[in-house]
A and B are shown apart, each in its own frame.
Chain A
Amino acid sequence: DGGITQSPKYLFRKEGQNVTLSCEQNLNHDAMYWYRQDPGQGLRLIYYSQIVNDFQKGDIAEGYSVSREKKESFPLTVTSAQKNPTAFYLCASTRTVSSGNTIYFGEGSWLTVV
């Protein structure tokens, strides 16, 4: 079945460490997105990519980095520069432009800094 797979589902990080969250989709979608969600809050856009080897900053990109070397994969690295990384992270994808499809979400990753 097609879908988006995020891993790990739960992750604990020590302060000062970088961690990478994986996002893989087999939907042949061009566009992929990373969102952060804090308790009781909405989704805030971190980074997005419309095409391989290209990505743009969202509203809260500071302290994060991404890569898009393959169409199926859009990993997110939470760097030590992110001061308050404890949150729920969601990866999403869509087909771009012509078809106006809905958004598909992964199951999310819970990151906790200890």
Chain B
Amino acid sequence: EDKVVQSPLSLVVHEGDTVTLNCSYEVTNFRSLLWYKQEKKAPTFLFMLTSSGIEKKSGRLSSILDKKELFSILNITATQTGDSAVYLCAPLPGGGADGLTFGKGTHLIIQP
């Protein structure tokens, strides 16, 4: 059974559109939720979310965590073709008992 579920798995939009990517998770002794962007190589870090309800922003990207519902969203406004990538989320456990499991990712394609 999947511990991390991302949706949608793929998404195609036009430049300028706003997108919302979803991540639900289940992990023992949750500490933080991580978002990464992956193009053709290693993932690059976007956000680490630890507290519920506090939005983190970086330019056109923002993310928020709901620890009660075990859910996080990643928003991208005014999308650009350079936003095309796979977006991955992973719950980071405290206690060191679990492996670090990623969702399958959302494959986002921004069309000009």
Q: Is the pairing of A and B real?
A: yes
A contact residues vs B (CB 8 Å cutoff):
30-31, 33, 35, 40-45, 48, 50, 56, 58-59, 90, 92, 94, 96-98, 100, 102-103, 105-108
Q: In the docked arrangement, what's the CA distance between A102 and B100, Å?
A: 11
Q: Which residues of A contact B88 (CB under 8 A)?
A: 42-43
When the two chains form the complex, which single residue of B32, B94, B99, B103 contacts A56, counting CB atoms closer than 8 Å? B99
Interface residue tally on B, bucketed by range: 20 to 34
Please give me the residue from chain B that is nearest to A4 by CB atom.
B42
Q: Which residues of A contact B21 (CB under 8 A)?
A: none
Q: In the docked arrangement, what's the CA distance between A41 and B36, Å?
A: 14
When the two chains form the complex, which single residue of A31, A100, A103 contacts B31, counting CB atoms closer than 8 Å? A100
**Contact A100-B102, Cβ < 8 Å, known A31-B96, A50-B96:** no
B92 within 8 A of A: yes
Q: Which residues of B contact A103 (CB under 8 A)?
A: 34, 36, 45, 90, 92, 100
Contact at B96–A100, with CB atoms within 8 Å? no
When the two chains form the complex, which single residue of A33, A42, A98, A108 contacts B100, counting CB atoms closer than 8 Å? A33
Q: Which residues of B contact A44 (CB under 8 A)?
A: 102
Q: Which residues of B contact A98 (CB under 8 A)?
A: 94
When the two chains form the complex, which single residue of B45, B94, B99, B103 contacts A42, counting CB atoms closer than 8 Å? B103
Q: Which residues of A contact B32 (CB under 8 A)?
A: 100
Please give me the residue from chain B that is nearest to A96 by CB atom.
B96
Please give me the residue from chain B that is nearest to A56 by CB atom.
B99
Q: Which residues of B contact A50 (CB under 8 A)?
A: 96
Q: In the docked arrangement, what's the CA distance between A45 and B90, Å?
A: 12
B50 within 8 A of A: yes
Contact with A along B87-112 (1 / 0, CB 8 A): 01010101110011111110100000
When the two chains form the complex, which single residue of A43, A56, A94, A108 contacts B92, counting CB atoms closer than 8 Å? A94
A24–chain B nearest beta-carbon distance, Å: 15
Contact at B95–A92, with CB atoms within 8 Å? no
When the two chains form the complex, which single residue of B6, B86, B100, B105 contacts A92, counting CB atoms closer than 8 Å? B100
A41–chain B nearest beta-carbon distance, Å: 7
Q: In the docked arrangement, what's the CA distance between A50 and B88, Å?
A: 22
Contact at B43–A94, with CB atoms within 8 Å? no
